Amino acid sequence: MNKGALALLNVYGGDSSDEEVPGPRVSTKREFRHDSDDASKPSKLPVPREFMDTSVDAENIDNPALHGGRVRSFRHVRGNWATFVYVPVEARAGIDELVSYAESITPPDFGVQRAYDYHISLTKTVILKHHWIKPFVDAIKTTFVGFNKFVVFFDEVRVYSNEEKTRTFLGLQTNSGHDSLVSIVHVLDRCLAEFNLPPFYEDPSFHLSVAWCVGDRERDFAHYLPRINAHLAELKTARSQDNWYILVDRLVCKIGNKMFEFHVK
């Protein structure tokens, strides 16, 4: 029974306008140049900036030292906005304890780091052109009708790596909410397709990344997984159930530094 609906409410973080987009505004006014050197030449309309400016932004070339050695998947290119949709998840003491345990049993050279921006991804990180931002957000808004709130439980720890194999993640996988999350992903995949953007994984494994390290450490971590999962099972009996599930009642679409929030009504 679909009595709830996901509707765009506002921009996350108190900004009430969903029209606003990040970055410098591009003037759409036509400018006729008066060329005093050669007044006989006809004036030309300027090419809009978003169509011509694809140069790498020199001030934003990736510096891994600034973010714990992480390697970005995308170089910053002017006019391109890294975009993804996710379920936000608040911090939990039980998960903190689990990560502390993982840190304590893995060798220091793994360089395990805690994840702070807890989320369950529903799209890959895709690149949106500046002028697609509003239509993309509108497409999500209009397509999300008739979704109910639902609960997902964190079932077990798994190891993931990104497609470039530059980072390895410890993730709490959710099997219980899988079907509901898959139906949201199908809706999002259709929106992405309208903009020629790639869909999420064909065989998605929804998870909350709780820690990560640089490089391809999937096999190294696999060795420690049984102990980490045994510890998770102990924590699940010792700590409140609130640590191990979330109510999915909103989604966030992050575009550059801007966040658009969608709520289940």
Residues involved in catalysis: 119, 207
Contact between 6 and 262 under an 8 Å Cβ cutoff? The reply is yes
Closest CA to 256 of 114, 110, 74: 74
Minimum distance of ligand AMP from residue 244's CB (angstroms): 18
x/- map, 33-62, ligand AMP, by CB under 6 A: ------------------------------
Examine residue 173 and tell whether it contacts ligand AMP (CB under 6 A): no
Which residue, 182 or 238, has its beta carbon nearer to ligand AMP?
182
Alpha-carbon distance 67 to 190, whole Å?
33
DSSP conformational letter for 69:
T
Residue 201 sits in the site that holds ligand AMP (CB under 6 A): yes
CA distance 78 to 58: 10
Which CB sits closer to ligand AMP, 51 or 201?
A: 201
Q: Is 209 in the site for ligand AMP (CB under 6 A)?
A: yes
109 binds ligand AMP (CB under 6 A): no
> Which listed range, 88-96, 161-169, 175-183, 230-238, lies at the site for ligand AMP (CB under 6 A)?
161-169
Helix (H) or strand (E) holding 147: none
Told to check if 205 binds ligand AMP by CB under 6 A, we report yes
**Alpha-carbon gap, residue 199 to 122, rounded angstroms:** 10
Q: Is residue 111 involved in binding ligand AMP (CB under 6 A)?
A: no
3-state secondary structure of 191: helix
Measured distance CA(249)–CA(67) in Å, rounded: 31
Give the pairing type, strands 126-129 and 245-248: unpaired
Work out whether 169 is an interface residue with ligand AMP (CB under 6 A). yes
Report the interface residues with ligand AMP, using CB under 6 A. 121, 160, 162-163, 169, 201, 203-205, 209
